[in-house]
Amino acid sequence: MTKNTKFRTPDCGLTKVQQMLGGKWKLLLLWYLSEETRRFGEIRRCFPEITEAMLTKQLRELEQDKLIHREVFKVVPPRVEYSLTDLGSKFFPIIEAMYDWGEENLKN
Amino acid sequence: MTKNTKFRTPDCGLTKVQQMLGGKWKLLLLWYLSEETRRFGEIRRCFPEITEAMLTKQLRELEQDKLIHREVFKVVPPRVEYSLTDLGSKFFPIIEAMYDWGEENLKN
DNA sequence: CCGTATCCGGAATGATACTG
DNA sequence: CAGTATCATTCCGGATACGG
């Protein structure tokens, strides 16, 4: 017998994670938001390579997956803040582990 | 100042990890191979949803990234075995953490 | 300031047939 | 058994323009 027969269910945790974080920028965005709450404009300036449309899309997907929280302040000019949810925070150590592994093992 | 200014280098570890594991099946394949060395046919039977062409491609990419080792036995009929490299093994705890996080937090 | 709407190209993935 | 070769398709991400 093998150890990990559990892993082959169609909705196994790993499959879901892969789907949730498949977006090209999601890990980076989560990492950035883990530092502190950020306004939309801050995020945009920090990631100039992402177009606004794409940035909005990825943020909304992260919100739907309950990894980040989006708060709209009804003021003029508008103000929108993004922050990690508890769920997102719980995932953060994994992101750090991936970063560390990458830094340690993928030098060039 | 923010804590993680390091994370925004263009070739930061996290970006590389995302690129390496972006493939739709790579996490699952690594997980599967972490159990033990597998022959091509075994892998194919375990993942019937992946076409042969795609499976070959993803395995070769993992090999190029030095996460898995591919060994060809020159016999008839041919025999090819795949196994994790040391580098791949070092990444395994992260996969487990992702799996656990998914199982714990993404129940429907 | 913080978005949405629309269109588009190319990469990622898939289906099918064939081979040493 | 373990692949290649081709062709089709889907889908992610990008460019650009416009809106409350």
Q: Where are chain A's structural domains?
A: 24-106
pLDDT in tens, B6-59: 556 657 899 999 999 988 999 999 999 999 999 999 999 999 999 999 999 999
User: How deeply is B26 buried, as exposed, middle or buried, from its count of CB atoms within 10 A (0-12, 13-18, 19+)?
Assistant: buried
pTM as predicted:
0.91
Give nucleotides in strand C with any atom < 7 A to a protein C-beta.
Answer: 1-6, 12-17, 20
**Residue A78, min C-alpha distance to chain B (Å):** 24
Distances (CA, A) of A76 to A41, A80, B25: 15, 11, 46
B22, closest nucleotide (Cα–C1'): C12
Domain B24-106 bears CATH identifier 2.60.40.10: no
Say how far apart CA B80 and CA A12 lie, in whole Å.
28
**Which residue is listed with tokens 């390579």?**
A49
- Asked whether residue B52's C-beta has any atom of DNA/RNA strand D within 7 A, the reply is yes
Q: For residue range B52-87, what is the model confidence (pLDDT) as tens digits?
A: 999 999 999 999 999 999 999 999 999 999 999 999
Q: Give strand letter and number of the nucleotide nearest B43 (CA to C1').
A: D2
